[in-house]
Amino acid sequence: MTKKIPLLIDTDPGVDDALAILMAFNDADHEVVGLSIAAGNVGLEYTVRNALKLCEVAGRDDIPVFAGCDSPLVLAPREDAAHVHGRDGFGDSGFEPAAREAESEHAALAILRLSHEHAGRLLLVALGPLTNIALALKLDPTLPQRVARFVVMGGAVSAHGNITAAAEFNVAFDPEAAHVVFEAFPHFDLADWEATIAHGFHHQKAERWLQAASPRARFYDRISLQTRKWSADRRGELWHSADALAMAFALQPDGATRLAERPVQVELAGALTRGATVTDWNRQTGRPDNARILLGYDQARFEALVEAALAAG
């Protein structure tokens, strides 16, 4: 039997983060070695609480949860994503907090420690603002040398943003952190918001998956209700789960049907474009291709991974 790939997830749960984490829990080839938590969708107090609760519901209290940065590196963002995920980040469904607490180690330190413990094998997946990873890089710039593969959910590669006209939420929440990370990693895989929009699934189908008798599906049905309603009102018949698509790409990269490698940089200054990811499609800057951009993923495979993650347990 081959050894499982160690998987560290940096995340700000978040309804779509939760689905992605359940997909990781259900994967036979990967072993989740930790959840490092950032502020983003909602405040850190909630994102940590949500991560702990999800582990409890999934029967995965063996996975350490590390609280990280409670605000962006430099500037406070104008808004969080509570309008999408609920004020508590998990649909305001009023669940009892988990019995367990987060570890005492800071997320940035845990990222560095785990990168040493799993040097050369670690799969690092970022599903939230990149604050913790940027801080880890500032503490130890050699981090990328020990990460075998780095997958980021973030950006909008042709500037069709979601939180602003040009910028995607995770990058716009902490553009300086995204800048630090994009400059430090010579190669990373990018699943952006535009790929998310190209890979929605029908609400009716998702509702069927959510009928599974597992505790995971029962909990997910509850915490996703509010955001599913918001999405149906706003975006119509398709439901989009950015972090789930990124996780499908992370777990099964051979499901990608179209990829493009290009230089991607983060706009820090623009009055209208702060937090936008500027993709050098024509390779005019002379910069090296740092991002492998996901343009297409096998939709049936993506949906099968989601359905199985909900039914598992």
Active-site residue list: 240
Does 132 bind ligand BDR (CB under 6 A)? Our answer is: no
For every residue of 251-309, DSSP letters joined together read H-GGGEEEEEEE-EEE--S-TTTTT-EEE-TT--S-----EEEEEEE-HHHHHHHHHHH
Contact set for Ca ion, span 4-23 (CB under 5 A): 12, 14, 17
Q: Decide if residue 192 touches ligand BDR (CB under 6 A).
A: no
Task: Give the range of 66-74, 187-195, 226-234, 235-243 binding Ca ion by CB under 5 A.
Answer: 235-243
- Counting every residue written for the chain, the total comes to 313
Determine, following the binding rule CB under 6 A, whether residue 168 of this chain makes contact with ligand BDR. Answer: yes
Residue 169 touches which member of ligand BDR, Ca ion, none, C-beta under 5-8 Å by kind: ligand BDR
Q: Shortest approach of ligand BDR to residue 127 CB, angstroms?
A: 5
Binding mask 217-256 for ligand BDR (x = CB under 6 A): -------------------------xx-------------
Q: How far is 207 from 283, CA to CA, in rounded Å?
A: 43
What is the number of other CB atoms lying within 10 angstroms of the CB of residue 147? 22
Name the residue among 91, 53, 49, 94 with its Cα closest to residue 70. 49
Contact call for residues 281 and 262 (beta carbons, < 8 A): yes
Question: Which does residue 168 bind out of Ca ion, ligand BDR, none, counting CB within 5 to 8 angstroms by kind?
Answer: ligand BDR
Closest separation between CB of residue 285 and ligand BDR, Å? 25
| Upstream peptide bond of 34 is cis (omega within 30 degrees of 0) | no
Binding positions for Ca ion, rule: CB under 5 A: 12, 14, 17, 127-128, 243
